[in-house]
């Protein structure tokens, strides 16, 4: 198969949702259909005792939530699919934002009984900002659901995007009989699949088939016909161009847990999504089809995925060309040529060594501590081309970190620096001191627990966290600012990041305005660039 054919069969998407909407369960079912696993696990692990493949950290198995994004690849329907499963919990949203930078489309999972929730809104904003096509999967139809028209209305109002239902549910909860496919005008019937651990056989029946009364009550059929009529008049027409621009969201219904509607969704999704999209760089747009040379960017770093080796993996999204194991590339930000050794594809913590990969694929490369998030890797022919940086989101919680045993200083610095490079926490220092005083900033307070847990378990270091009263952080955009003579307010603190860039912490929002007024020409920014 030629390079172009390989690229065209790639699909790379992220799955986003509010916690507990069923995102990790849906991912599992995709893998089941892709033949990557033969029995799906579930997150909570009740009736099915297996843990989900994508949750591999001990803390994830303990709490039943996903805390890091994982990358999963499988083949299905002639396509090679890269799924980026993201943590739903808002305290880990930082990881999700960055992961969205590596995806070409997003699948938004919504709980049919709850509708649009806080985290869904946030994530959707990031998708809208980047014009990422969003596909909606309304999950948990096997439980009592809200009125479907109200649900669609809410999606449209809350997210500001029209919806186009591709199929339509017949009842919900105990009355859930299946979904009606608007294009084929057939009904896919719902049946039990051993609590969703096995693939179900798909049973289809036409709406006008006399046999239908065996499966769907006359009342349910009458309601369905009425709703379809309403739908034909009220909902937006399907328009591929609008979907591609992220201005129309196709909607699907099903139950990931019961494994219903997943295959149907997957088939449509592959038809409606595009192969890898171009990326912008300082040398203009890099088109995966036209550009023959290899280029990629690092969007995630994960340490200690393998306890036996204590290693770090840098995850890269390939943007153009073909990757070959052992090839020599430019590491632009590091200013050096490197060989990419032991490239791996992931199945969460299970890995396989890859010999080649193409634009759209996600690969993990062994990182001896040289990569940072946002780094560009490219073929020497492309010179020092850099992709647009990944924004660093402002932390909202800060704490001073102290180690309990001063003899373990070395492990402490190593542990905290490595975890910071993954991007889950940000480390700062007092402006005029070295690493003695370390301040940690996080997006959600749960990250402090993860930090403590990981330092103890992975680096054998005990720490104490003293919360600080600051809530706002600002990057200083001016290059020539004199920090010693900067006039601020009493609740302002001067700090610097690991690259010695100056920053300011504030306890109150009004202090930010005061500081800007007192220092004419000072430019403060809410986002940093990695």
Domain range list for the chain:
15-69+107-272, 279-382, 394-529
| Cα–Cα dist 132/130, whole Å | 5
Each residue's pLDDT tens digit, 58-83: 544 444 433 344 677 788 888 888 88
| Two domains, one topology: 279-382 and 394-529 | no
Each residue's pLDDT tens digit, 308-358: 555 677 888 999 999 887 888 999 888 889 887 665 555 444 556 677 888
| Cα–Cα dist 467/301, whole Å | 26
Q: What is the pLDDT of residue 310?
A: 57
Which pTM value belongs to this model?
Answer: 0.74
To 5 degrees, how large is the angle CA 273–CA 389–CA 9?
25
DSSP character string of 211-235: GGGGTS-HHHHHHHHHHHHHHHHHS
| Cα–Cα dist 296/424, whole Å | 21
* Cα torsion angle, 102, 106, 107, 112, sign: positive
Residue 23 DSSP SS3 = helix
| Cα–Cα dist 387/319, whole Å | 10
Q: What is the pLDDT of residue 44?
A: 35
Residue 70 DSSP SS3 = strand
Contact in structure between 392 and 498 (CB atoms under 8 Å): no
Residue 508 DSSP SS3 = coil
CA 144 to chain centre: 28
Please give the structure tokens belonging to residue 492.
Answer: 């302002």
The residue ranges of DSSP E strands in 426-491, in sequence order, are 426-430, 438-442, 463-467, 472-476
Supply the CATH classification number for the domain 394-529: 3.30.70.3280
Q: What is the pLDDT of residue 251?
A: 93
Please give the structure tokens belonging to residue 166.
Answer: 């591709």
Q: What is the pLDDT of residue 38?
A: 41
Given CATH 3.40.50.720, say whether it is the number of domain 15-69+107-272.
Answer: no
Q: What is the pLDDT of residue 391?
A: 66
pLDDT < 70 positions in the chain: 34-70, 85-96, 119, 191-202, 303-311, 341-353, 391-393, 433-436, 527-530
Architecture of domain 279-382: Beta Barrel (2.40)
| Cα–Cα dist 205/211, whole Å | 8
| Cα–Cα dist 124/146, whole Å | 21
Q: What is the pLDDT of residue 40?
A: 34
């Amino acid at each position: 198969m030629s390079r172009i054919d390989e690229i065209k069969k790639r699909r790379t998407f992220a799955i986003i949702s509010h916690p507990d909407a069923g995102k990790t369960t849906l991912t599992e079912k995709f893998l089941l259909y892709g033949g990557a696993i033969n029995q799906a696990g579930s997150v909570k692990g009740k009736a099915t005792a297996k843990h989900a493949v994508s949750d591999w950290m001990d803390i994830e198995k303990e709490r039943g939530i996903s805390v890091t994004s994982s990358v999963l690849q499988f083949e299905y329907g002639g396509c090679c699919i890269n799924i980026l499963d993201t943590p739903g919990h808002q305290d880990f949203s930082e990881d999700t934002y960055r992961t969205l930078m590596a995806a070409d489309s997003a699948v938004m999972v919504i709980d049919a009984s709850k509708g649009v929730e806080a985290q869904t809104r946030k994530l959707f904003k990031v998708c809208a900002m980047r014009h990422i096509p969003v596909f909606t999967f309304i999950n948990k139809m096997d439980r009592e659901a809200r009125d479907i028209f109200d649900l669609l209305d809410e999606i449209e109002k809350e997210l500001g995007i029209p919806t186009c239902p591709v199929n339509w549910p017949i009842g919900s909860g105990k009355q859930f009989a299946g979904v009606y496919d608007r294009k084929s005008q057939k009904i896919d019937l719902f049946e039990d699949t051993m609590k969703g651990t096995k693939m179900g056989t798909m049973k289809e029946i036409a709406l006008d088939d006399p046999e239908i009364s065996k499966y769907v009550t006359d009342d349910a059929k009458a309601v369905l016909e009425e709703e379809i009529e309403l739908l034909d008049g009220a909902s937006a027409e399907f328009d591929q161009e609008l979907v591609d621009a992220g201005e129309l969201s196709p909607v699907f219904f099903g139950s990931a847990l019961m494994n219903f509607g997943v295959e149907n969704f997957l088939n449509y999704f592959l038809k409606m999504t595009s192969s890898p999209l171009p990326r912008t760089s300082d040398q203009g747009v890099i088109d995966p089809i036209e550009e023959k040379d290899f280029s990629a960017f690092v969007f995630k770093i994960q340490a200690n995925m393998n306890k036996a080796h204590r290693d770090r993996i840098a995850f890269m999204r390939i943007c153009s060309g073909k990757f070959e194991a052992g090839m020599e590339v430019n590491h632009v930000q590091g200013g050096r040529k490197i060989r990419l050794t032991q490239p791996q594809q992931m199945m969460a913590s299970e890995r396989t060594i890859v010999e080649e990969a193409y634009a759209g694929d996600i690969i993990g490369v062994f990182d001896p501590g040289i990569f940072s998030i946002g780094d560009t890797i490219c073929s020497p022919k492309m010179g020092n081309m850099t992709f647009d940086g990944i924004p660093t989101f402002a932390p909202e919680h800060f704490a001073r970190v102290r180690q309990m045993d001063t003899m373990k200083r070395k492990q402490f610095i190593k542990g905290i620096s490595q975890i910071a490079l993954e991007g889950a926490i940000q480390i700062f220092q007092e402006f005029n001191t070295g690493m003695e005083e370390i301040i940690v900033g996080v997006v959600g307070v749960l990250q402090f627990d993860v930090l403590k847990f990981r330092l103890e378990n992975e680096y054998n270091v005990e720490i104490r966290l003293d919360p600080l009263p600051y809530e706002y952080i600002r990057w200083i955009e001016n290059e020539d600012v004199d920090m010693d003579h900067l006039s601020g307010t009493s609740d302002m603190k001067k700090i610097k990041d690991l690259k010695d860039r100056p920053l300011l912490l504030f306890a109150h929002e009004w202090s930010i305005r005061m500081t800007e007024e007192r220092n004419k020409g000072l430019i403060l920014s809410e986002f940093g660039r990695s």
